[in-house]
Amino acid sequence: MLPNSNRAGRFTARLGLESLESRAVPAVVLPASAPVQASVSSVTNAPEVKIDYQPAASQITTASITTAATSATFYVHRSISPGAVLVGTNAKTGNHKSTGSVAFALSKDSTTTATVNGSSVNVLVGAVTTTSSASTSYPDSYNVSFSVSLTLKDASSGAVGTLVFKGTITGAINNQGSGLKMTFPTYYQKLTLGKNVYNVNMPYATWLPAPSSGPVYINATVKVTPKV
């Protein structure tokens, strides 16, 4: 009778499945899917970002750098007043004038080139000599004023200007030696010509040579700076 009971069990199980099939199956609600992200290629209205590229200092070539003129050429003319020969006084002479003189031999017109904002350059003004036959007891005495004028012309602009340096010669001299001193109290002046400023210095004080000595040379120094 066991076979019958087995068949009965299988039948009973099938009836259970059939009863499940006849039932209504509840609906299954799936969770909402995440929104689909747009790809980069689908973005057409994104704002444009511009980046200014600044090259490193090592990448800047010298060809891209322009420099201003670094030199200035100028012409110089010298003159002296009241004259190139100056005389003093001596109480023992018939006219009470000195037995000798102080003589200037001015340099001829010249051209000079200086570096703008560089070192000063020398400009020869001239040479000075003395003469005297006075004795040591009655020397020639000097208290004489004079002026040296330097006319400068800037070669680039053609502009011309003149600087006047007032000087004095004081002291005594005889046939054995000299105690004469030449002084320019206002020894510095400047002149603007074109794009350059010419800063000119005369020597403040110079001891003049004895009659038996050679000349002493007077130099002005000129420093050129750019016009501000």
Question: What pLDDT, on a 0 to 100 scale, did the predictor assign at position 68?
Answer: 53
Interval 15-23 mean pLDDT = 43
Q: Is residue 105 part of a domain?
A: yes
Q: Percent of the chain, pLDDT > 90?
A: 69
Q: Is residue 79 part of a domain?
A: yes
Number of structural domains the chain divides into: 1
- Per-residue pLDDT reduced to its tens digit, 30-70: 444 444 444 434 434 444 444 343 444 444 343 333 345 59
Mean pLDDT of the chain: 81
Rounded to two decimals, the pTM is 0.70
Beta strand pairing call for 181-183 and 196-201? unpaired
Range of the domain at 158: 71-226
Q: Is residue 111 part of a domain?
A: yes
Q: Is residue 139 part of a domain?
A: yes
Q: Is residue 102 part of a domain?
A: yes
Q: Is residue 181 part of a domain?
A: yes
- Per-residue pLDDT reduced to its tens digit, 158-213: 999 999 999 999 999 999 999 999 999 999 999 999 999 999 999 999 999 999 89
User: Does the pLDDT value for residue 124 go beyond 50?
Assistant: yes
Q: Is residue 90 part of a domain?
A: yes
Q: Is residue 15 part of a domain?
A: no
- Per-residue pLDDT reduced to its tens digit, 60-107: 343 333 345 599 999 999 999 999 999 999 999 999 999 999 999 999
